[in-house]
Structure 1
Amino acid sequence: MFRLAYKSVKHNPKRLLLTAVAVALGVALVSATLTLTNALSSGFNSLFSEIYGGTDVIVEQVAEEQADGTGSGNEMFAAGESTFDAQDLAAIQAVDGVSGAYGGLQVTATVLAAGFEPTGDLMSSGGPPTQMFNWTGEPDVDRATLIDGAGPAADGEIVLDVDSAPSLGYEIGDSVTVATVDGVTELTLVGTVRFGESNSLQGAVLAYVTESEAHALTGEDGYQQISVLTEDGADNEAVATAINEVLPDGTRAITGEAKAAEQAAELDDILQYIDIFAIAFALIALFVGSYIIVNTFRIIVTQRTREFGLMRAIGVTGRQLRSMILLEAVVIAIVASTIGIIVGYLGALGMSALVEAFSGDLFGTVTLPPDALLWSYALGSLVTLVSALLPAIHASSISPMEALRESATESKKPLKMRNVVGGAITLLGLVGIFVGLYTGVADPYWYVGAGAMALIIGVTLLAAQVLVPLAFGLRDVLTRMFKIDGKLAANNIRREPRRSANTAAALMIGVMLLALVATFTESLKTVVTSQFTQINAELFVLDTQTGVVPQGAMDIITSADGVDYVSSLSINSVEFEGMPESLVAVEAETADAAYDYDNEPDFTELDGGVFIGPDIQDRGVEVGDQVTLTGDADTLTLEVTGLYNTAEDGSFWVEWSTAEQMYEEVGVVQGLVVLDEDADVDEVQADILEQLSAEYPLVALQQPDQLAALANTFIDLILGVISALLGAALIIAILGVANTLLLSVTERTREIGLLRAVGVRKSSIWRMITIESMVMAVFGTVLGMILGVGLGAALVRALEEFGFTTIAIPWIWLIIYTVGAAIAGVVAAIWPAWRASRMDILKAIATDG
C-alpha cells in the first residue's frame, strides 16, 4: 500500500502542490523561530561561558527567589546591591585553596555617543546598553584582554571594548561622556579591550574604570560580587563549599561553570515563551491549512472513485484503501515539512544577518536544532493525517459496485447532521461567553476564551447552511451583473456547499483573528489614550536609564520657572501575609489634582492609612481592617481607609511620609509636573530640558499627548508583528481558495468542455471562476470580520477589571480587509481560471472525470 501511495503522489504531484505549500508555510514558521531562539541561546551561552568561565568561584548575594529555590542569584546583567566589605574579602582570601579574591562593582551607567544631544524623549536611551565594571588588571577576572593603550590606572580614566569605541565615535585620548544615576561624568579614554575571544557582547558596550572611580560613581563602599581564583589543582566545588561557611547570610559561593549554566538555563526559560508564542501562530496557520487538506483529499477521493472501485473489485479491503490514502498524506507531510524546515532555516539565516547589520551580533552560530526538526515533522504530519482522516474513511466506505459506475461522484449527504452538531457547538460557545460576561465569575476572560473557541468551530460547521441560501440570493444579483457567468458561479457554489464552506471558513478564521486583534488593540489604544487624558498635569517626567528619577533632576524641575508643583509617585515591593505585593506611594495633597486616579475617597483622606487594590479586596480585606506591611526598613500596621479600583495598578497605596518610614530610600518613579496657569507648556518644557541636558540627559520630560502618541506607536508595532505572523494563515487561506478551485476545475473538466462546445467563450469561463472565487473570499471575510469584532469586543468587556472600559471598532481596518478579500479572490482565481480557459474542448468532453 505504501508503494501505491508513493506512486500516486509521484504521478499526480500537481493536485497536491498547494496542499504541500500550505503545510510548508506553517512548518517554516516553527523551524525559523526555533532556529533563531537556539542561535540566540547559543550566543548568550557563549557569553555566559566567557563571563564566568575564567573565574573559578563566584561569590554573590542570593535573591529572594533563589532562597526559595525558584530563581538564580542576581538578575541577568543587572547591578545588584553592595553586600560585601573588605572583611568579607579578607575572610574569603584566607580560605584554603584560594589564590586570589577580587571585589567586583558594576556601575549603573550609560556611555553616551560622541555629540549626543538629549531630547527628553522617552525612547532616548543614549545608545546601546552599557556594562561598566571596576578594572582589576587580572584577565581571568576582568574577562578582557587589553588590545590598545593601557588599562585605567587613575580616577577619571576609562577603557571601552574595541567595537564600541569607534561605533560611539571615540578614540584613545578622547573625553568620554558617561551618564550615571547622579549625573554626567567626563572620563578620558585610555585604552581598548577585547572581551573573551571574539568580543561578542550581544550588542552591549563594555567599559572599565578604576575601583575607586567605581566606588565614587556608585556611592557605595562595598562590593556587589567577589570573583575567586583557586590554586592549581584545587577542587572548585570544595573551595566554594568552604567559602560558604565564612559568608554572611543571604549570600552564596558558586563555581563559575555552575553560574554560567544557571544563567543559560534562566535565559532558556525566557526563550521558551518565544517558542510557545511562535508555535501557537504556526498551529493557527496549520489549522487553517487543515481546511485545504480536507478539501483536497475529499476532491481527490471523488475524482478517484472509479479507481478505488476497481481496487475494491480485485480484493483490496476498505482498511487497505484507507491506509493508502493516509500514507499519501504521510508522504505529503514529510515532503512539505522538509521544504518548510529548509525555508524556515534560510529565513532564520536571513533574519540573523539583518539583525546583525542593524543591532550587532546577537546570535551565535545559526544551526538547525533537533527540536526544530522534531516539532516541524510532528506538527506537519499530525495536521495532515488528522485532516485526511475523514476523506480516507469516506473512501473506504464506498461499495465497489457504486464506485464502478461511471457517474459516481461525491456522496451528496444532507447537511442535517453537520447543522445539528454545528448548532450545538455554537450554542455552547455562546453560553460560555454569556457566563464570562454576565454572571460575575472570577477570571471571566477564561470563559470568554473557551466560548470563543467553541463558537468558531460551530460557525465553521454552520457556514455551509448559510452559504446555500446566500448562493440562491446572489444568483439573481450575479446574473444581472455578469449575466450567465454570474449565474453559473452561484450554482457552482451552491452545488458543493461543504467544499465552498470549508474554503470560505479557512479565510474566515484568518480574517477573524486579524479583526479580533485589531479590535482589541484599537480598544487598548483607547484605554491608553484615556489614561493620558486623565493626566491633569502638563508634563510627565521619568528616567529612561534606571527607572528612578535622580533627586537632582527633581530639584531642577521643581525650581524651574513656570512650574507650580510636582506630584511624585513611587512603586515599591512590600510583604503582606508572607507574599510580595506592590506598594505605591503618592503625595496625598497633590495626587488627585495632578491625575484622575480611580480611588474612593480622595487620597487626601489617606490620613496615615492605606488604600487597597482589587486583588487585596478579593482576599476579604475591607475598609476599616488593619493590614501589616513590611518594607526593607520597618514593618507598619495600617488601617484601610479607602479603595483603589483598577487592577494591576498597585495592591497598596500610601502617602509619601508612610513610605519613608517603611523604606530606607523612596525613589521617584514618575513625576507629574503642574505648571502655573499662564505658563507656556512648550517653553517651560524646552527650558527644563536645557537645564537637565548638562547633568541628566537621559531624564524624559514629555507632554501627555506626546506620551500617548508614543504608546500608540508601540501598540501599532505589536499589531504589525502579530498581523505579520497571522499573514501566514491568510496566505494559506488564499492558497486554499485557489486549490479548491483548481481541483474543482479538474473535477468539472467535462462540464467546462461542454460549456465551451455550446459557444461559451474563454473569457466567460475565466469570469465564472473568478466570480466564484470572489464570492467565497468575500463571504469568508465578512463572516470573519463579524466574528472577530464580536469576539474582540467580548474579550475587551471581559477585561474590564484591568481598565478596559471602551470597545473601539477598527472601521478602517475592516474596510481594508474587505477590499483585500475581493482582490485576494481575483488573485486566487488566476491559475484555476487560466487552466479552465485553456482546456482543449474535445479532450475535455472525452474525459472520464
Structure 2
Amino acid sequence: MKKSILGLSMRFFRANKFITLTSIIGVILSVSLIISMTLFAVNAKQTLKNEVSKMYGEMDLSVGYEYGSKNVIDKDFVKKLKSNKNIEHSSSVLVTQVKLNTSDSQTSFYTVGVKNDALSKSRYHFKNNITKNEIIVNKGLAESLGAKIGDRLQAEGKSLKLVETIEDLNSTGIAPNILLVSHDNLQNIISKKTGKNIEATYILVKAKKGIDKFSLANEIKKNEKDLRIDIAEEDPFLKSNIESLSIFIVVLSFLIIIVTSLLIISNFEMFLYKYKNQFAIMRSIGATGRQLFSIVLLQSFFITAIGSILGLGFAMFSNKYLHIWLEKIFSFNASTVTFNLKLAFSITVICMVIIQLFLLLPAIKITKVLPLKVIQDNEEVNFKSFKYNRFWGKSFIILSTIIILFGKIIPKEEGGQVFCLLLASILLMAGIFILFPIYLGPLLICLAPFIRKILGVNSYVAIKNVIPQVKKNSFVILTISTMMIITVFGSVMLNTIQKNEQNSLKEQYPTSIVLTSRLGDNSTIDAIELERKVEEIKGISNTSSISTQSSGELINGNHNITFDYSLSDLGRMEKLGIFTKLPTDKKNIIVISEEFSNKHSLKTGDTVELGKYSDADQKVISTGRYKIGAITAKLKDSDVYMDWKEKKYKTDFTVFSKLFVKSNHVKQTTAKLKRIKGQFPEIQINSYMDSVKKSKGMFYQRWSIFIVVISVMLISIIIGVFSSLINNINSKRKEFAILRTISLSRSGIINVILTQITLYLLIGLLLGVFSGGLLTIVISLIDPGKIYINFSIIGLISGFMLIMGLIIFFPYAARLGNKKITLELTQDNK
C-alpha cells in the first residue's frame, strides 16, 4: 500500500508540473536567500574578530610612556605591572631603528625586540623562537634583499641568521618593513647606543577573563600620568551595526518563510480544489482519511525537500559572487567569506521543518473530504460555514483591543507593555485575516450593482463570478496582504527610525565634536585637566565638560519633585551657545531643560528650593534657593544643570561624562584629538559629521536588505500567486465558454479575466495596506511619537504588482478568448 500511495503522489505531480515547479522555485528562493543572509552576518562577525586579531593578537592593552617623556620602563615598572591581580600575562617589547646592510648601503629599518612568548608571537605573527643570533623579517623585505631562510644578514655589525619570514601585514599598524630580533639582543644594541638599560618601549598586556579593559587601563594609569595606553578593541560602530543586522536578518527570515508557506498553501488549495473529485472517489472505494493525509503530506514534503536542497545548492553556488554584492550594499569588507556548510545545512533543515509545519494544514484538510458533498462544497456561496470562524475572529479583535488598553496602563519599565502590545498585534492580525473572507463575499454582493452601473455588464459578470471563489482563493489574497503588511510596516519603521536618528543626533551634538567617557560612572578623568589639554590644540575655540547624572529634589511644599542633574561650567556652556542669556552673576543659578520646564510650569527668573536626600537623616535636606537662569532646548541629558562649583551636589558618582568641543575644522581637529587618547584611554572621540555618515550607512544597510527581501518576495509572489490565479482561471474555462456562448465576445472575456485578476490584487493590496497601517500604529504605542509613512515604496510595490498582473494576464486572456468553444465545453477542467 505504501508503494501505491507513493505512486499516486508522484502521478499527481506529473499531472501538475506547473504547480509543483512554482512551489519548488518559491522554496529555493527563500531558503537560498536566508542561508546567504545568515552566512553573511556570521562572516561579518568573524571578520571583525579577525581584524582585531591581525592588529593586536592576544593582547588587550599596550602600556608605554608618551613620546618625548623622560620616563622609561625599567625592571621595577615591569615587576609592579606584573603584580597587578587583574593581569594574566605581560610581555616586554623594545622598538627602535636598526641599520641593516643592503646590497648598496646601510638602511635603517623599524626593529622590534621580542620575547618568545604567546603574546609577542600573536602580536607580530611569528612562530619560531628567536635566539640572540637570529632574525625574522617580513616577506616583502626578504624578497627585496634576495634573502632566503638560512641566509645570514648583517645588522649593526652582527651576523644574524634568517630563521623565518612573516606576512606583510600593513593592516596591523606596524611599518610595512619590519625586523624582529630577540629582546636581549636589541636591549644590548640600545644600551651601546644610548648608555641606558631600558627594559621595554612598551608592554603587551593580556587581562584576566571578565576584566574590563578600560577600567584596567585607568587603574594602570592612575599613578603614572605620562603613560600612553592603547586598547585592543573592535570598532564599536561596526560591532553594534552587525548585531543590529543579525536581528534584522532573523526577523526578515521568519517573514520570508511565512510568505513562502502561504504561497505553497495557496498552490495546494488550487491543487486540492482541482482534484477533489478524484479524492472523493478514492474515499468512496475504501481509501481512509489517513491514506489521503499521507498522499498530500508526501507531496508537500517532496516540494519542501527538493526546494530546500536546491536552495542550499544555489546558495553554495552563488556564495562566491553574492558576497561581493552584499559587501557593496553593506559597506563591509568580509575578508573571510567561507561557506560554513554545517551552519548552512542546519538553516536548511530549520527552514524545511517550519515550512512543513505550515503545510500540515492542507494535509489535514484533505482528510475531511466527503464523497456526497464534493460538488456542493466546490461551488456554493455558503457563508454559514464560517460561523465558527466569525466567533474567533471577533473574539481576537476584541481581545486585542482589551490587551492594548491594558498594556498602556502597565509601566513601560517592567517590560509588560512591550509583551502586551506585541501579543495584541498578533491577535489583531489573526482576527482580521479570519474575518476577511467572511465579510468579503457579502461586501462584493452589495457592491456588484454599483459596479454594474459604473463599469458595465462585463465587470459585473466578473464580480459575480469571483464571489463563489472567495473562500477558495483566500490564501492567494492573504499572501499578497502579508507582503504588503511587511512592506508597510517595514518601510514605515525604517523611515521613522531614520528620522528619529537624525533628530536624536542633533540633540546629542550641541557642538560639532563631543568627547565621551566609555566608563560612565567609573570614569577617572579630571574634567578641568582634559579641558586644558584639548584647548591646547590649534583650531579649537571653546570647550565645556559635563558630568554624569545624579538625583536631586525640587521642594514644592509637601510634595517633592525628583529630577536628574548634571554639573557643568555654565559660563563655558554660554560661550558655546548651548545655554543662552544667562545672568552675569552665576551664583545660585541653574539651567533647566525645556521638557522639565513644560512639565512643571517653570520659567526663566523663577526661584525654586532644591534639596538632596540624606542617608543619615533619612529625609530630603534643603540645599538652598536657586534662580532659573535659562531654559535650554539644545541639551536633553538631564532635567537640571548646575555649575561645577556647587560642592553640595558633588558626589562619588558625579564624574566626567562628556566634553563639548567647538571647532570650524572638524576633520583636522578630530585627527589632532586622537593624540590625547594615550593619556586618556577611556575617551571616545565623536563628531556630528562622522555620526551622521555612520547613521546613514546603517540606515542604507537596513534599507538595502529590506529591498532585497521585498524583491525576492515579489518574485516568489508573482510566480506563486499568478500561477495560482492561472490555475483558477483554467478551472473555470468551461464557465467562460458558456458565457461566450450566451453573450460575451472575445474582448468581453479578456475584460472579465482582467477584472477578476485586478480585483484579487486590489483586495490583497488594500487589505495589506490597511492591516500594515494598524500593525504600525499598535507597535508604535510602545514608543509614542510621530510616524513617518513612506508612500513612495508602498505605491511602487502596489503599482508593480498591478502592472505585472496586466502584463502577464492580458496575453493569457487573449489566448483563452481564441479557444474553440466546442472544445472548451467538452473539457473537464476540475
| TMscore range, shorter length | 0.5 to 0.7
User: Relative to structure 1, is the Cα distance of residues 845 and 13 closer, same or farther in structure 2, using a 3 angstrom cutoff?
Assistant: same
User: 10, 13, 19: which one pairs with 2:17?
Assistant: 13
Extract unaligned runs of 5+ from structure 2. Answer: 66-72, 84-88, 96-109, 128-136, 146-161, 191-199, 210-215, 221-232, 520-524, 552-563, 581-585, 597-609, 677-683
C-alpha contact 1:553 1:692 (8 A) present in aligned 2: no
C-alpha contact 1:522 1:810 (8 A) present in aligned 2: yes
User: 365, 386, 389: which one pairs with 1:394?
Assistant: 365
Asked if 1:451 corresponds to 2:424, the answer is: yes
Please tell me the residue identity of whatever aligns with 2:30: G
Asked if 1:498 corresponds to 2:479, the answer is: no
C-alpha contact 2:323 2:337 (8 A) present in aligned 1: no
User: Relative to structure 1, is the Cα distance of residues 145 and 841 closer, same or farther in structure 2, using a 3 angstrom cutoff?
Assistant: farther
C-alpha contact 1:558 1:566 (8 A) present in aligned 2: no
Please tell me the residue identity of whatever aligns with 1:329: S
Tell me which moved more, 392-401 or 813-822. Answer: 813-822
Aligned equivalents of 1:770, 1:276: Cα separation in 2: 41
Corresponding residue of 1:460: 433
Deviations 1:704-760 (A, max 9, x none): 9x9779856754553343343344344434444313312212221322333344564
Corresponding residue of 1:376: 348
User: Relative to structure 1, is the Cα distance of residues 133 and 5 closer, same or farther in structure 2, using a 3 angstrom cutoff?
Assistant: farther
Aligned equivalents of 2:780, 2:496: Cα separation in 1: 7
User: 425, 437, 451: which one pairs with 2:408?
Assistant: 437
Extract unaligned runs of 5+ from structure 1. Answer: 61-73, 95-99, 107-131, 147-158, 164-170, 173-192, 214-219, 228-236, 241-246, 252-261, 575-581, 598-602, 614-621, 629-636, 674-683
User: Relative to structure 1, is the Cα distance of residues 47 and 555 closer, same or farther in structure 2, using a 3 angstrom cutoff?
Assistant: closer
User: 760, 766, 777: which one pairs with 1:782?
Assistant: 766
Superposition map of 1:419-818 within 5 A: 419-438=390-409, 440=411, 442-443=414-415, 444-476=417-449, 478-480=451-453, 482-531=455-504, 539-542=511-514, 554-555=534-535, 565-569=542-546, 586-588=568-570, 591=573, 594-595=577-578, 624-626=612-614, 666=656, 668-671=658-661, 673=662, 685=664, 711=695, 714-715=698-699, 717-758=701-742, 760-800=744-784, 805-818=785-798
Corresponding residue of 2:92: 103
Deviation of 1:764 after TM superposition, in Å, equals: 3.8
C-alpha contact 2:257 2:354 (8 A) present in aligned 1: no
Deviation of 1:697 after TM superposition, in Å, equals: 11
Deviation of 1:8 after TM superposition, in Å, equals: 2.1
User: Relative to structure 1, is the Cα distance of residues 692 and 525 closer, same or farther in structure 2, using a 3 angstrom cutoff?
Assistant: closer
Aligned equivalents of 2:447, 2:76: Cα separation in 1: 88
Deviations 1:751-805 (A, max 9, x none): 23333445644444344333222222222222322332333233333214xxxx3
Give the 3-state SS of the residue equivalent to 1:382 in structure 2. Answer: helix
Deviation of 1:11 after TM superposition, in Å, equals: 3.8
Aligned equivalents of 2:657, 2:64: Cα separation in 1: 15
Give the 3-state SS of the residue equivalent to 1:498 in structure 2. Answer: coil
C-alpha contact 1:291 1:502 (8 A) present in aligned 2: yes
User: 31, 34, 37: which one pairs with 1:30?
Assistant: 34
Deviation of 1:519 after TM superposition, in Å, equals: 2.8
User: Relative to structure 1, is the Cα distance of residues 482 and 523 closer, same or farther in structure 2, using a 3 angstrom cutoff?
Assistant: same
Q: Which has the larger radius of gyration?
A: 2
User: Relative to structure 1, is the Cα distance of residues 23 and 545 closer, same or farther in structure 2, using a 3 angstrom cutoff?
Assistant: farther
User: Relative to structure 1, is the Cα distance of residues 361 and 817 closer, same or farther in structure 2, using a 3 angstrom cutoff?
Assistant: closer
Give the 3-state SS of the residue equivalent to 2:472 in structure 1. Answer: helix
C-alpha contact 2:740 2:746 (8 A) present in aligned 1: yes
User: Relative to structure 1, is the Cα distance of residues 88 and 318 closer, same or farther in structure 2, using a 3 angstrom cutoff?
Assistant: farther
RMSD value, Cα: 5.9
Superposition map of 1:82-231 within 5 A: 86-87=75-76, 89=78, 102-103=91-92, 136=114, 140-144=121-125, 207=175, 223-225=203-205
Give the 3-state SS of the residue equivalent to 1:808 in structure 2. Answer: coil
Deviations 1:560-618 (A, max 9, x none): 6xx6x5444466999xxxxxxx9976444565884589xxxxx99798999x99xxxxx
User: 309, 319, 327: which one pairs with 2:298?
Assistant: 327
Aligned equivalents of 1:133, 1:452: Cα separation in 2: 64
Deviations 1:528-567 (A, max 9, x none): 4544666896x4224799999986884268976xx6x544
Deviation of 1:28 after TM superposition, in Å, equals: 1.8
Corresponding residue of 1:283: 254
Corresponding residue of 1:70: none
C-alpha contact 1:104 1:134 (8 A) present in aligned 2: yes
User: Relative to structure 1, is the Cα distance of residues 372 and 402 closer, same or farther in structure 2, using a 3 angstrom cutoff?
Assistant: same
Please tell me the residue identity of whatever aligns with 2:256: A
Aligned equivalents of 2:547, 2:688: Cα separation in 1: 20
Please tell me the residue identity of whatever aligns with 1:780: G
Give the 3-state SS of the residue equivalent to 1:315 in structure 2. Answer: coil
Give the 3-state SS of the residue equivalent to 1:366 in structure 2. Answer: coil
C-alpha contact 1:511 1:730 (8 A) present in aligned 2: no
Give the 3-state SS of the residue equivalent to 2:203 in structure 1. Answer: coil
C-alpha contact 2:488 2:794 (8 A) present in aligned 1: yes
User: Relative to structure 1, is the Cα distance of residues 460 and 650 closer, same or farther in structure 2, using a 3 angstrom cutoff?
Assistant: farther
C-alpha contact 1:745 1:836 (8 A) present in aligned 2: no
Give the 3-state SS of the residue equivalent to 1:464 in structure 2. Answer: helix
C-alpha contact 2:670 2:687 (8 A) present in aligned 1: no
Identity of aligned residues (%): 14
C-alpha contact 1:425 1:458 (8 A) present in aligned 2: yes
Deviation of 1:312 after TM superposition, in Å, equals: 2.3
Aligned equivalents of 1:42, 1:534: Cα separation in 2: 34
C-alpha contact 2:513 2:686 (8 A) present in aligned 1: yes
User: 328, 334, 339: which one pairs with 1:367?
Assistant: 339
TM-score, scaled relative to structure 1: 0.63
Please tell me the residue identity of whatever aligns with 1:847: Q
Asked if 1:846 corresponds to 2:826, the answer is: yes
Deviations 1:672-703 (A, max 9, x none): x4xxxxxxxxxx836x7677778879999988
User: Relative to structure 1, is the Cα distance of residues 35 and 198 closer, same or farther in structure 2, using a 3 angstrom cutoff?
Assistant: farther
Give the 3-state SS of the residue equivalent to 1:624 in structure 2. Answer: strand
User: Relative to structure 1, is the Cα distance of residues 249 and 822 closer, same or farther in structure 2, using a 3 angstrom cutoff?
Assistant: closer
Please tell me the residue identity of whatever aligns with 2:478: A
Corresponding residue of 1:179: none
C-alpha contact 1:769 1:833 (8 A) present in aligned 2: yes
C-alpha contact 2:41 2:242 (8 A) present in aligned 1: yes
C-alpha contact 2:488 2:772 (8 A) present in aligned 1: yes
Aligned equivalents of 1:133, 1:344: Cα separation in 2: 46
Aligned equivalents of 2:369, 2:720: Cα separation in 1: 26
C-alpha contact 2:612 2:622 (8 A) present in aligned 1: no
